[in-house]
Amino acid sequence: MIEFGNFYQLIAKNHLSHWLETLPAQIAAWQREQQHGLFKQWSNAVEFLPEITPWRLDLLHSVTAESETPLSEGQLKRIDTLLRNLMPWRKGPFSLYGVDIDTEWRSDWKWERVLPHLSDLTGRTILDVGCGSGYHLWRMIGAGAHLAVGIDPTQLFLCQFEAVRKLLGNDQRAHLLPLGIEQLPALKAFDTVFSMGVLYHRRSPLEHLWQLKDQLVNEGELVLETLVVDGDGCSSHS
């Protein structure tokens, strides 16, 4: 069973506490709703994974966790099998104690392209909209963020995130909520808001921009990454 109590306790003590006026009821409603037909299978895979505290954890250059002594062949096979039950993995890659998750998308390449254009993330509270499995949440923590919160309504992505978190020692610096941006109140509480690969999926791109703005503190930073199609106005003329 995936629970959100740790997140509630965390934000009760910081500037996100006003989110508790609406969030628990939204999550409770989500838990009551008809889940995906495979959700129980996915959540069981998370439950059966071991909770391992990494001896070495690299979130700055990748998402890589290592143990002080190698895991046994049986342990590795068990982890590999359970993670395969959560396929398809789209955002990644991950390297967890010798088990490599080779994902459909190289999200690390995107991060390396975006990172040079960002303000320093050290100490920041971050929102990542449409975060998928949460790969970039971990990279944001690696770049110094104090707290990284992702939202994505896809239930498989939630289970993938919780699986990785469990294998990272139940790290509480990153959290994923099964919500869409339209379900968030105007929190105005995040130092940086990311929307990467989302805008071109929205029926109303302008409305999406206003929703993102509503989550930012004054003078906060919006990171918008999207496809761009050159038009006549972008052409150069001699």
Please name which of 137, 122, 48 lies closest in space to residue 92, comparing C-alpha atoms: 137
Res 229: pLDDT: 62
With H, G, I as helix, E, B as strand and everything else as coil, classify residue 169: coil
| 139 vs 62: CA distance, rounded Å | 7
Q: What is the pLDDT of residues 32-72, one digit of tens each?
A: 986 888 999 999 999 999 999 999 999 999 999 999 999 99
| 173 vs 149: CA distance, rounded Å | 8
Largest CA distance in the chain: 67
User: In tens digits, what is the pLDDT along the chain, a chain of 238 residues?
Assistant: 799 999 999 999 999 999 999 999 999 999 998 688 899 999 999 999 999 999 999 999 999 999 999 999 999 999 999 999 999 999 999 999 999 999 999 999 999 999 999 999 999 999 999 999 999 999 999 999 999 999 999 999 999 999 999 999 999 999 999 999 999 999 999 999 999 987 766 677 889 999 999 999 999 999 998 866 666 554 443 3
pTM: 0.93
For the domain made up of 5-225, give the CATH fold: Rossmann fold (3.40.50)
